[in-house]
């Protein structure tokens, strides 16, 4: 293949792109790949999770604008392009029983209808590879689950001229991956590596919950080496200041230990229209050699 490779990462909210696959995207940008983040919602109903900013009246009143500004800063750090699909954040329902989702939110849209916006973006950007979430959303946030649904529809429909005929010239992406960066194998390796060095691990309680959650293990088909971009990943994550405490959980494993023990980001190959051999170390395996 002689044309420039293109990667699209489909995410639910601003900040998801920096916590899931950010080092991979930075690596591919450095390699000359054109990378676009598609952000489904504006994160309007996201809580302010950084304790240092909780209660700030300006942030609470202007959360949509604040999160858009954070997204722009993270985009620049990662070196990617970014597009908003324009849906409204559904929020994360809490309580027993769970409250109904707010009217008009992303998770209540008809998936076939909502997928049209993503189909149009795929046909415009023409990605060879798309990353998204698995059927559980990575975790069961309603917007993450809806992101999975529209991604699957759009991956199948984008190349079909009979579907979404008003959404531009058809384009057939070649591969679809699920982000699987928060996997048990990585968590155990980091946990045990920290303990072996006499360092307290932040993952003990997490692993206990994992053991009792009856959570099925995913197949990790693709490990992308990207340790040299971990600092860029963390810088982009910190740019989402309302969501990320720079002294919090994400940053409790020393960088040198992360790079030594687990220097990759992981994916699950969900669909491929090109021949490839598993396991992979490149999201574009098979695409680079396709005619």
φ/ψ of 132, rounded to 5, equals -155, -160
Classify residue 277: in a domain, yes or no.
no
**Are both 197 and 263 inside the same structural domain?**
no
Q: Which tens digits make up the pLDDT trace of 139-188?
A: 889 999 999 999 999 999 999 999 999 999 999 999 999 999 999 999 99
What are the residues whose beta carbons fall under 8 Å from the beta carbon of 236, sequence distance 6 or more? Answer: 17, 18, 22, 26, 74, 77, 78
**Are both 84 and 49 inside the same structural domain?**
yes
Q: Pick out the residues of the known binding site.
A: 13, 16, 144
**Are both 202 and 117 inside the same structural domain?**
no
Q: Where are the alpha helices (DSSP H) in the chain?
A: 16-19, 22-30, 57-61, 63-78, 111-125, 142-157, 184-196, 204-212, 230-239, 255-261
**Are both 86 and 211 inside the same structural domain?**
no
Q: Pick out the residues of the known binding site for Zn(2+).
A: 13, 16, 144
CA atoms of 283 and 5, how far apart (whole Å): 11
Confidence (pTM): 0.96
26: containing domain: 6-182+219-272
**Are both 39 and 170 inside the same structural domain?**
yes
Q: Which tens digits make up the pLDDT trace of 83-102?
A: 999 999 999 988 888 899 99
The residue behind tokens 């057939």 is 172
**Are both 72 and 203 inside the same structural domain?**
no
């Amino acid at each position: 293949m002689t044309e420039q490779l293109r990667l699209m990462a489909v995410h639910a909210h601003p900040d998801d792109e920096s916590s899931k696959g950010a080092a991979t995207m930075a690596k591919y940008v450095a390699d000359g790949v054109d990378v676009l983040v598609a952000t489904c919602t504006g994160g309007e109903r996201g809580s302010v999770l950084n304790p240092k900013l909780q209660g700030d009246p300006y942030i609470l009143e202007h959360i949509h604008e604040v999160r858009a500004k954070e997204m722009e800063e993270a985009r620049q750090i990662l070196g990617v392009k970014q597009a908003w699909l324009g849906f409204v954040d559904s929020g994360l329902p809490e309580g027993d029983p769970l409250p109904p989702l707010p009217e008009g939110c992303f998770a209540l849209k008809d998936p076939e209808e909502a997928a049209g916006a993503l189909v149009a973006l795929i046909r415009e950007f023409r990605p060879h590879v798309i990353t998204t979430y698995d059927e559980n959303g990575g975790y069961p946030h309603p917007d993450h689950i809806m992101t999975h649904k529209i991604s699957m529809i759009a991956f199948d429909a984008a190349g079909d001229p009979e579907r979404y005929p008003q959404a531009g010239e058809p384009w057939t992406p070649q591969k679809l991956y699920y982000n699987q960066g928060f996997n048990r194998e990585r968590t155990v390796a980091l946990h045990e590596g920290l303990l072996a060095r006499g360092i307290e691990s932040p993952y003990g309680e997490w692993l206990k919950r994992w053991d009792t959650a009856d959570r099925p293990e995913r197949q990790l088909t693709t490990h992308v080496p990207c340790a040299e971009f971990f600092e860029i990943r963390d810088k982009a994550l910190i740019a989402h200041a309302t969501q990320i405490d720079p002294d919090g959980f994400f940053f409790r494993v020393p960088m040198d230990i992360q790079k030594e023990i687990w220097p990759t980001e992981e994916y699950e190959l969900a669909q491929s229209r090109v021949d490839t051999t598993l396991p992979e170390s490149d999201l574009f395996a098979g695409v680079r050699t396709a005619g």
